[in-house]
Amino acid sequence: MTHLKSLGVNAVQLCPVTEFPGDISAGYNPVSAYAPEWKYGTPDEFKTMINTLHRNGIAVLLDIVWNHFSPTDNFLWNYDGTQTWFDTPDVTTPWGSQAAFGRSAVADHFANSSQYWFSEFHLDGYRMDGTAFMTPGAHSSSGWQLMQRLNNEKNSRWADKITIAEELPSDPIFSTPTSLGGAGFDAQYHMLWRDNVRGAVFDAAFGDPSMNNVRAALLG
C-alpha cells in the first residue's frame, strides 16, 4: 500500500471478484453478481482492503461482468426446474449464455447488485466488461436499457461514483448521457490510444527502441 501511495497511484481497478468455478481465474467466468470469490477471502476482509486503500487516498473500481455467465457451474440454469433466467433458446456470447435482461426480475438482479457493491463495500465505481455483448440479438433493447438503468441509478444515488465502458472499438454513444439516448457511462476505453501505445512498446522491444515514440504515444 505504501508503495502504491509513493508512486502517486490514486485509483486501482480490480478484475472481477465474484464467485467463479474452481480456485484460479481472472474472474471473467462469473457464476454470481453478488458473492465475493471465497478463495480471495471473506467479504469483511475485502471491505478492510477497500477501507485501507481509501485511507491512503486511493479509489477502488470493480470490473463487473453482466454480459454472460460462466458456461460451467451456472447454478441459475434451470434454477427452479424452469428456464427463468435465460431465453429458450438462450442468447450466447463467446464466453457463455446471457441472462434474459428483458425479464424484470432478471434486470433487477443485476441493477440491485450495483447498489449492493456501492452500499456494502463502498466502491468508487465500475468498469463494465464487454459492453458490446450486452446487446446482441434478442437483447439489443433490454441490454441497452439495463446499462442506462445502471448509470441513471448511479447518478441519482451515487453522484460521486464513476462508470467506465469497455466498448471496443470506441463508440461515443456509450458515454453520451441517457437523456440524449446514450448509455450514460462517464467514460469508455480509448482503443486507438491503447493500440498506439502497444505498437510503440512492441517496436521499442523488437528492433526499434525509440522511447520518444513510446512517450509520444502515451501523450497522444
Mind telling me the catalytic residues?
A: 129, 166
Residue type, 78: N
Residue 172 three-state SS: helix
For residue 36, the 8-state DSSP code is B
Residue written as grid cell 502504491 = 4
Residue type, 166: E
Give the H or E element holding residue 144.
helix 140-157
- CB atoms closer than 10 angstroms to residue 207: 7
If 0-12 CB within 10 Å is exposed, 13-18 middle and 19+ buried, where does residue 200 land?
Answer: buried
Q: Could you give the C-alpha distances from 33 to 115, 117, 191, 209, in angstroms and in order?
A: 11, 10, 27, 44
Q: Are 165 and 174 in contact (CB under 8 A)?
A: yes
What span, in angstroms and rounded, lies between the C-alpha atoms of 74 and 55? Answer: 37
Q: Are 213 and 203 in contact (CB under 8 A)?
A: yes
